[in-house]
Amino acid sequence: MSPPVRVELGARSYDVVIGSGVLDRVASFLASAEICPARILLVRDTGVPEAHAQAITDALRAAGLEAHQTTLDPSERAKSLETAERLLGDTARAGLDRHDAVVALGGGITGDVAGFVASAYRRGVRVVQCPTTLLAMVDASVGGKTGVNLALDDGAERLLKNFVGAFHQPSLVVADVATLASLEPRVLRCGLGECIKHALITGDTDLLDWTTSSLDDALAGDAAVLTELVRKNVAVKARLVARDERETDASGGRALLNLGHTFAHAIETIPSLSPDPEDASLAPLMHGEAVALGLAAATALAVDLGRMTGAERDAVLWLIGRAGLPTSVASLPPSDQVARRMLDDKKTLGGRLRLIVPEGLGRAGVLEGVDAGAVGHAIDAIRGP
């Protein structure tokens, strides 16, 4: 186990515990953080083996807690107000009061929905995040963004990503890299999209160099390398969240974490897109694949705007490809249609696109009101054959 990463937020500060086999010790981490619920509701992602959930509930029961369990289907469609309502009912049926805690065990969708339920139940109870995907470990479980999607049926069926939510910081995050061993390789690779994103915004190239040289070991499941990968990435996110918790810094701050995401959110809501042009059955794109495409589009935009050289863009595209993630996608709708979907992004201000654009390698900045033609070129740059 590496030393925990602390997210410094005054009275709401918390630790992110990272290591292999740490889930079994969740009760002792709660005790050291002086978190003493009498009851917990464990929200288990149906993709997570029941054995992991059992290990946590057994450990909590052995420590004298009353542990209840419910499940959640980790799909974008199920990331809905209906699911949140069902879980709120489960929380009430489990008898949680304001001193108790919701424990999220699973990927990013599970953490987002369970966190949102915890933010709303009796105006807020604690949430403990136990992420089991690389993507949730390095991104979704840290920083307190919680929420669900909003489906609009107004002729053109639209799924507005994370449109209903709350900032609700966890009280503790326990990232057990042993859980990554049961992940499908495709799901593990998705987390690397967020790691590459972090490496492009830290302010130097150290993380990019380390990620490039450690990628193969991470993909091979080396627990020590995965622990270090999660630690380094959580440290990047913790720093930005501590500086700008609510993403109000117009010059960057937490918003830098949205690099590639406005493109990604537009692309991932198109259900027919597949990461492999030879295999349509892999559609729809997973979030990490859409992020990888969003990073590729953002680097194309950066080259177009003279903020990045072609060689720097090629280095990023090489790394994305090496991680087994797509840099182009077949059957992408016309650019103006994709650009219109980008305007649905909740970070749009007054109908103007606000994009994060790389500046060379390891740095990025905010760009307001980006020219539609440049956005169109960036979308065309990821259009596959």
Task: Kindly list the residues in this chain that would bind ligand GLY in the complex (CB under 6 A).
Answer: 139, 143, 145, 254, 257
Q: What minimum distance in Å lies between the beta carbon of 97 and ligand GLY?
A: 29
**In the complex with ligand GLY, which residue's Cβ is closer, 100 or 345?**
345
To the nearest whole angstrom, how small is the minimum distance from the Cβ of residue 195 to ligand GLY?
13
Cβ closer to ligand GLY: 122 or 243?
243
Q: Which is nearer to ligand GLY, 52 or 145 (CB)?
A: 145
Cβ closest to ligand GLY, residue 139 vs residue 228: 139
Residue 184 Cβ, how far from ligand GLY at the closest point, in Å? 22
Kindly state the smallest distance separating residue 240's Cβ from ligand GLY, in Å. 7
Shortest distance (Å) from residue 108 CB to ligand GLY? 9
Query: Distance between the two ends of the chain, CA-based, in angstroms?
Result: 45
Minimum Å gap between C-beta 284 and ligand GLY is 20
Q: Which is nearer to ligand GLY, 98 or 243 (CB)?
A: 243
Identify which of residues 142 and 225 has a Cβ nearer to ligand GLY in the complex. Answer: 142
Q: Rounded to the nearest whole angstrom, what is the least distance from the CB of residue 173 to ligand GLY in the complex? A: 13
Nearer to ligand GLY, 117 or 142 (CB): 142
Nearest-angstrom CA–CA distance, 184 and 182? 7
Q: Which residue is nearest to ligand GLY (CB)?
A: 257
